[in-house]
Structure 1
Amino acid sequence: MKVTKLLLALFTAVALTSCNFTEEIYVNNDGGGKFSIQLDGSQLAAMAGKEMQNDPQAGKVIDSTFSFKELFAAKEDSIAKLPTDEQERLRKLENYTVSMKMNAAEQQMLFTMATDFKNIGELEDAWSAMSGMSALDKGMGKTNPMAQAGGIGNNNSLLKYSYDGKKFSRKATLLKKETAETENDSLGEAFNMIYESSTYTVKYHFPKKVKKVSNASAMLSSDKKTVTVEYPFMDYMKEPEKLNFDVEFEK
């Protein structure tokens, strides 16, 4: 099955049910590390398990990994025709790899985007960059599943991270408040139901023990090096600034 068909099947499924989104970061002593976003659609797989197993196409076991760079290479001519700013947005995803695992029998449906970074300050918001995938509609037509993905997580904000060994910060800034409100108000009833029943979890691993987290709902691991906070996905979509917090470390 081609990559575009795999993605189309996944994001069509995501758009039909609630999901758990997890943003995870591993920070090294030198400030570099690994970043990933995972969509867990196991709830859908559990609900439609029998139907998916009986469908030869939907019931097919998928375990695939590829890079956006490979995907873009196949559409190089189409991308070259896009405005420069749209091309630049797409290029931000080139270093991301995509992993897809779908198994109806095991009620598994996972989608992960991941990348390594040398400096967390340079880390781009994956959802914001992904929204640029809609620009490929002209080149891929109705077979462009990534345009659907951009719609799922785009909350019209700019997300920045900082880490200096003493403090870590996650800060989202709403870019165009009026536009964002209008777009969110116009979400279909079905999508509102999906967002309201979904969650967005941030899970950050640090090389040092955490002294304090500015979010009262944050949970610390037993070794005090991992911070986990779970939010309603609707907060992520409508009020991304609610997900902002700082972390201070022990000396």
Structure 2
Amino acid sequence: MKTKLMFLVFLITSLVTSCTVTENIYVNKDGSGKFNVDLDGSSLMAMMPKDSLKNEKSIDSTFTFKQLLADNKDSIAKLSIDEQQLLKKLENFNMRMQMNQEQKQFLFSLQTNFKNVSELQDAMTAINAISLLQNKANKATEFGSAIPSEGLANNNSTLSYSFKGNKFTRIAVLNIVKKETLNEEAAEMNKMIFASSNYIVKYHFAKPVKKVSNTSALFSEDRKTVTLQYPFSEYMEHPEKLNLEVEF
């Protein structure tokens, strides 16, 4: 497996376990738009001893998943058809990594465009897919053993989006069968790992919002942006809490 991929998984794992994950979804009038997820691990950087990073250079790098998958095509060919299809969905994602010791900055950004909101995926799908690829090829390595086999942030739900007429919806349905068979030790580990993390979703619309079904939603002054924020543990255990129906 490529060293670059293992390093990437290690850094993303560190970020998600102690950071703020922010989804920004920009929806145009025709249902197309842009999806962006930011993982801010600056607090993690601030806690690291200065000596541990004294020789590290600042990083500001951008690359495409399409190239990353091409570089690891031999490992991908060994996966099941379903797993290969999951990874193929990431081809249009771009990633930017920024790390600056002096500014205590440690950021990852994942971005892609969509033609219809039905193409949208859970933000963690991309991260779980990378974990899947790395785990399959490196189960015996230090990197592989550090990531739960059920997925880095798998909340056992199926997520779907819809934008029809004057309504936008996000619906997460819990997969009860999978939830019941989830390894208890892994579930408890996930709970501890994400205890200090937050999950924020911001929806940016082209026109003002009339009302939102989710009572936890906050509006921007022009009512074109709707924000939901929960502890990451809530996202993991009760993904349906982020469900909403927006009327314009």
- TM-score grouping bracket, smaller chain normalisation: 0.7 to 0.9
SS at match of 1:93: coil
The within-5 A match list for 1:130-209 is 130-133=127-130, 134-139=132-137, 142=141, 148=147, 151-175=151-175, 177-181=176-180, 183=182, 185-187=184-186, 191-209=190-208
Q: Does the CA-based 8 Å contact 2:23-2:200 persist in structure 1? A: yes
Post-superposition CA distance 1:117-165 (Å, at most 9, x none): 00011223342354343144344564868x9498332212111111124
The within-5 A match list for 1:204-219 is 204-219=203-218
Equivalent pairs, count: 243
Output the TM-score relative to the length of structure 2: 0.87
SS at match of 1:72: helix
The within-5 A match list for 1:18-167 is 18-48=18-48, 50-54=50-54, 56=55, 59-128=56-125, 130-133=127-130, 134-139=132-137, 142=141, 148=147, 151-167=151-167
Post-superposition CA distance 1:51-76 (Å, at most 9, x none): 4432x2xx321111111110010111
Post-superposition shift, 1:11?
2.7
Q: Does the CA-based 8 Å contact 1:213-1:246 persist in structure 2? A: yes
Gaps of 5+ in 1: none
- Alpha-carbon distance between aligned partners in 1 of 2:80 and 2:24, rounded to the nearest angstrom: 32
SS at match of 2:85: helix
Post-superposition shift, 1:3?
3.3
Q: Does the CA-based 8 Å contact 1:184-1:238 persist in structure 2? A: no
Q: 1:219 to 1:51 in 2, by over 3 A?
A: farther
Output the TM-score relative to the length of structure 1: 0.86
SS at match of 1:161: strand
Of 122-131 and 160-169, more deviation after overlay is shown by: 122-131
Post-superposition CA distance 1:150-186 (Å, at most 9, x none): 83322121111111241111111112x2432553742
Q: 1:190 to 1:127 in 2, by over 3 A?
A: closer
Name the amino acid aligned to 2:11: L
- Alpha-carbon distance between aligned partners in 2 of 1:109 and 1:117, rounded to the nearest angstrom: 27
SS at match of 2:169: strand
Q: 1:184 to 1:98 in 2, by over 3 A?
A: farther
- Alpha-carbon distance between aligned partners in 2 of 1:104 and 1:191, rounded to the nearest angstrom: 28
Of 195-204 and 133-142, more deviation after overlay is shown by: 133-142
SS at match of 2:223: coil
Post-superposition shift, 1:240?
0.6
Corresponding residue for residue 11 of structure 1? 12
SS at match of 1:30: coil
Gaps of 5+ in 2: none
- Alpha-carbon distance between aligned partners in 1 of 2:216 and 2:120, rounded to the nearest angstrom: 25
Q: Does the CA-based 8 Å contact 2:24-2:37 persist in structure 1? A: yes
Q: 1:184 to 1:109 in 2, by over 3 A?
A: farther
Name the amino acid aligned to 2:118: G
Q: Does the CA-based 8 Å contact 1:196-1:234 persist in structure 2? A: yes
- Alpha-carbon distance between aligned partners in 1 of 2:98 and 2:49, rounded to the nearest angstrom: 15
